[in-house]
Structure 1
Amino acid sequence: MEMSSPLGQGGLFLLQFAVGLVIFALMLRFLMRATYADWHHPVVTFIAKVTNPLCAPLNKILPIKGRWDWAAIITATIIQALFVLLVGFLTGRDFSPAFVSLAAISEVLNQLLDMLFWLIIIQVILSWVSPQYNPNTAIFIQMTQPILEPFRRLLPPMGGFDLSPIVAIVAIKLVQIVIVGSIASIAQSMIGMPG
């Protein structure tokens, strides 16, 4: 199947979508554990059940300690690296190990930072729409509080306005542009280099 054909492009899109969903679930698992989200919440329970089989092999080597589930991050990076290798194989390109590693790391970091960005946006919208406690949306508060707390210490609420989400969003985007963008640029410069 030619990758340049509509059928080939459709197949690649479906594969990319499936890999993206798996990495999304793994990143969500990592963030839920890192922010001490309530593990009795249905969404958290579902994500744990879906990702447990993927993380189980690495959890034997890297057992979870406290809030950091490194197996989720490493598993996501390995899956992304395998996807990059598969794309290289299907398109007839020979990617170097360094390119595969950096491309996988930059993509996983981008997904993680995108997730942080959208969690904060959703939480801000929910705080306007439904300022009262709601058990169904409480998970967004649980996941964003630890992220926003350092920014609140730097910039306490002024006149009843909490500006920490804006500062956090700017910081997230800067990290994406400067740090993740640099990693992606280095990876791109390696295309065509001997493996």
Structure 2
Amino acid sequence: MSALLFLLNTLFFFLVGAALLRAWMNTRRMRMVQQPGPFVMAVTNWIVQPLRKSLPQTWVQSQFDVASFIAACLLALAYSAAWHTLFGAGLIGSTGTSPLFSVPFVALNFMLRTVLQGLMVLALVYVVLSWVQPQAPVQYTLGQLLQPLLAPIRRVLPTLGGVDLSVLLLIVLLQVALILIG
């Protein structure tokens, strides 16, 4: 059963993470022509495009990518329903509690974990690329994605000996947040 849980978590981590990354990239007004844009589009088009057609035009044209965020929420709810079905004694809880209460909480927890773990992956790739290949095109994209999170840290944490430790502090803070919601 643990292998099945691992597969379920991995599948939905990529789906929810891709939808959230798409929302974040569109909110930041980033072009989807270089990675991770094409990957995110390929993974999420099947759910985001129908949502865009069914949502009011004012929502679709807003600065925030509502369709991608709703897609992430729907995928997180699907994860929660699958988790409850497979591991939580069905959709009627083992303690007799209604799934109307537990499914949204598991979905919210999953979305929060996905955001934190996804940011950690982006930060780790950003750091490794800055050491190995600092001029890589994806390095610029990752910098744009992480800039709103790194800017406040960089204002407080000075560069030490020419080394920017803001990404390391961001990773530590993300790990602490993961422990707190764990």
TM-score of the pair, normalised by structure 1: 0.72
Q: Is the 8 A contact 1:36 1:142 kept in 2?
A: no
Q: Is the 8 A contact 2:76 2:107 kept in 1?
A: yes
**Structure with the larger RCO, 1 or 2 (CA within 8 Å, 6+ apart):** 1
* Whole-Å separation in 2 of the counterparts to 1:13 and 1:167: 28
What residue ranges of structure 2 are gaps of 5+ in the alignment?
94-98
Q: Is the 8 A contact 2:80 2:106 kept in 1?
A: yes
Say if 1:160 and 1:36 are closer, same or farther in 2 by CA, change over 3 A: farther
Q: Is the 8 A contact 1:24 1:111 kept in 2?
A: yes
Q: How does 1:1-195 map to 2 (within 5 A)?
A: 16-59=9-52, 60-61=55-56, 62-66=59-63, 68-90=64-86, 92-93=89-90, 94-95=92-93, 96-131=99-134, 133-178=135-180, 180-181=181-182
Say if 1:42 and 1:13 are closer, same or farther in 2 by CA, change over 3 A: closer
Task: Specify the structure having the higher radius of gyration (Cα).
Answer: 1
Say if 1:18 and 1:119 are closer, same or farther in 2 by CA, change over 3 A: closer
Residue 19 of structure 1: how far off its partner (Å): 3.1
Q: Is the 8 A contact 1:84 1:100 kept in 2?
A: yes
Instruction: Report the identity percentage.
Output: 29
What residue ranges of structure 1 are gaps of 5+ in the alignment?
182-195
Q: Is the 8 A contact 2:130 2:139 kept in 1?
A: no
RMSD (Å), alpha carbons: 2.7
* Whole-Å separation in 1 of the counterparts to 2:73 and 2:172: 25
Say if 1:108 and 1:18 are closer, same or farther in 2 by CA, change over 3 A: same
* Whole-Å separation in 1 of the counterparts to 2:138 and 2:175: 28
Q: Deviations over 1:12-50 (max 9, x none)?
A: 765554433322321221232344433222531342244
TM-score of the pair, normalised by structure 2: 0.76
Residue 79 of structure 1: how far off its partner (Å): 1.9
Aligned residue pairs total 171
